[in-house]
Structure 1
């Protein structure tokens, strides 16, 4: 009996707390007057469940009635009647039992949202919104003479200190084919003409192999001044001189550019990929097809590479004749 009363009071307390969470502040209940005989077990109930004990579980706002004695009843019936009367009187038993409430901490750390990485295959296979867009050089209102005047007696980089002559682009400025090397050598520096000497003679033969003459094409370099000791031009030196070549290309608008050697390829295309990986396939330079291939000076040192250059030049020839490279 004692444990049942304790359970009942604990449930009442929990229901009251629940109502307080809902915003209720004052509570009142009406309990019926229950009579017990002095000799029944209800008398012990009066002692065990006194108003003083209930105050530990029920707020003082509850007005608990005094218990009065009455005629004795059967022991079992008295206990059942007492429990039922208490439950009906409080009317809290009609509320559903509270589920176990989870506590939340405001100091819990939350993981940052993960960035979803799209698989590379999806990125590669997703077509551009506006199709294949490649930047172009646009229209140029300049002339080759104006570009030469702008270059003047150039002192923009340290290479001017050791040069003999500025080596400008030469040939047919209406040509469909432009050859670009990296920088002048000793012979070019002395004569002021690109690709002379042994390397120039080999280049002439390469041009003739596709049915053209030197007079039909345009020939130049990224840098116009000879580096000391024929060393490779530095990136700042190449980037200083490259805009003039780009302006010339915008004026001439050749169909194909054949870029000769690793240094010229990387400087013109602004890439770190080597010539061995790029050669043999057309690259894009502002809407102009570019064929990287080996430099004639390299072929003089390693004649076995001539076959690869010939394969590259056949693609250039077919592109000039048909608009498509050979397979």
Structure 2
């Protein structure tokens, strides 16, 4: 008997979970970055999320918990997602530099390129790229069939034939100053209109 759509979706989800778990183990065992006894800061969210949030490097609260977008940025994003009517379960968030070093430029280039593995596993429909440093990494990943994303805030751009991209200012730099908050929100809220247009399947 042929598999139903639900069974096929379940198999894809199981595979994505398995692949993310394997990636997590590889990152935890990696010794390429000078992180000492600190664990890498890992991505979190739905393994097959529609929305892929990407920022450059961890903040102290993220290093402490070992999870991307933990702390102020995560709280701000949860409020923003709620305001836009986006289900947080449709979101996956990660960092370019997962190594908790004081200077993100010390993170091993091979580790930084693991973002491409996360994109391939999650297969999102949109990447929200936060800040110019994260954008430089994304544009340097050589994702198959990808086009360069421009640092144009709040514009839906084609990244690959199946993935859109939206560039926003760096959220971490946007939390303490009112005009910076407005600039981030102005760019980020475009995600709400994009999400509303998703087909219901």
- In which range does the TM-score fall when normalised by the shorter chain? 0.7 to 0.9
Structure 1 Cα separation of the partners of residues 170 and 151 of structure 2? 15
Partner of 2:185: helix, strand, or coil?
Answer: helix
Q: 1:147 aligns with which of 15, 23, 48?
A: 23
Question: Which residue of the partner structure matches residue 249 of structure 1?
Answer: 119
2:195 aligned with 1:320, yes or no?
yes
Partner of 2:113: helix, strand, or coil?
Answer: helix
Q: How many residues align?
A: 176
Equivalent runs, 1:34-49 vs 2, <5 Å: none
2:109 aligned with 1:239, yes or no?
yes
Query: 1:194–1:219: 8 Å Cα contact kept in structure 2?
Result: yes
Partner of 1:307: helix, strand, or coil?
Answer: helix
Question: Which residue of the partner structure matches residue 202 of structure 1?
Answer: 76
2:51 aligned with 1:177, yes or no?
yes
Report the structure number with the largest CA radius of gyration: 1
The offset of 1:171, in angstroms, is: 0.9
Query: 1:200–1:296: 8 Å Cα contact kept in structure 2?
Result: no
CA change 1:309–1:185 in 2 (3 A) is closer
List alignment gaps of at least 5 residues for structure 1.
1-139
The offset of 1:220, in angstroms, is: 0.8
Query: 2:129–2:165: 8 Å Cα contact kept in structure 1?
Result: yes
Question: Which residue of the partner structure matches residue 297 of structure 1?
Answer: 172
Equivalent runs, 1:18-167 vs 2, <5 Å: 143-158=19-34, 160-161=35-36, 164-167=38-41
Q: 2:62 aligns with which of 188, 194, 197?
A: 188
Query: 1:256–1:320: 8 Å Cα contact kept in structure 2?
Result: no
Structure 2 Cα separation of the partners of residues 261 and 285 of structure 1? 16
CA change 1:186–1:304 in 2 (3 A) is same
- TM score, norm. by length of structure 2: 0.75
CA RMSD, aligned part only? 2.8
Structure 1 Cα separation of the partners of residues 111 and 95 of structure 2? 9
| Greater RCO structure (CA 8 Å; 6+ sep) | 2
2:181 aligned with 1:306, yes or no?
yes
Q: Deviations over 1:45-94 (max 9, x none)?
A: xxxxxxxxxxxxxxxxxxxxxxxxxxxxxxxxxxxxxxxxxxxxxxxxxx
List alignment gaps of at least 5 residues for structure 2.
1-14, 142-148
Structure 1 Cα separation of the partners of residues 157 and 85 of structure 2? 23
Q: Which moved more, 1:307-316 or 1:202-211?
A: 307-316
